[in-house]
């Protein structure tokens, strides 16, 4: 997984466990795409200080995920939901009974809503 996507996902799950400075550095760097120098100016620290904050924050995010495994669980659930929706679509394409199709469409909508809410 690309680093920016990975860190953003980890941050979504575990960002509240970071210090304010670490959250700020992650937010600027990964979500707003600021350079280390720009972040340093905003935070009132050196470029090296920003780098240190980012490294420590990434280590903590990975550590939390190793212990809790929420990102992997989320990704498995999303894959399962997507596969379920795809399977329903395939079944509905082969059905002639409109009542049964309507019931399956309701299940599909519920699964889709679950994916969007997660």
Residue 117 has pLDDT above 90, yes or no: no
Give residue limits of the domains in the chain.
Answer: 3-68, 73-117
Instruction: Please state, rounded to an integer, the average pLDDT across all residues of the chain.
Output: 92
Q: How confident is the model at residue 66 (pLDDT cuts 50, 70, 90)?
A: very high
What is the tens place of the pLDDT at every residue in 71-115?
999 999 999 889 988 988 888 888 888 888 888 888 889 888 888
3-state helix, strand, coil split of the chain in percent (to 5) is: 85, 0, 15
Burial environment of residue 40 by CB neighbours within 10 A (0 to 12, 13 to 18, 19 or more): buried
Query: Dihedral of the CA atoms 6, 45, 48, 41 (nearest 10)?
Result: 70
Collect all residues with Cβ–Cβ distance below 8 Å to 9 and sequence separation of at least 6.
Answer: 1, 71, 74
Residue 1 has pLDDT above 80, yes or no: no
Q: What is the structure's pLDDT at 105?
A: 87
CATH architecture assigned to 3-68: Orthogonal Bundle (1.10)
Predicted model pTM: 0.75
Is the dihedral angle over the CA atoms 8, 73, 57, 18 positive or is it negative? positive
């Amino acid at each position: 997984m690309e680093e920016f996507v990975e860190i953003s996902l980890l941050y979504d799950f575990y960002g509240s466990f970071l210090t304010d400075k670490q959250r700020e550095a992650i937010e600027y760097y990964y979500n707003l795409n600021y350079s280390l120098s720009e972040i340093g100016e905003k935070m009132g620290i050196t470029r090296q200080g920003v780098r240190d904050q980012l490294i420590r924050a990434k280590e903590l995010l990975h550590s939390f995920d190793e212990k809790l495994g929420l990102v992997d669980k989320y990704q498995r659930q999303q894959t399962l939901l997507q596969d379920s929706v795809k399977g329903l679509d395939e079944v509905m394409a082969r059905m002639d009974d409109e009542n049964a199709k309507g019931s399956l469409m309701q299940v599909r909508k519920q699964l889709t809503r679950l994916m969007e809410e997660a």
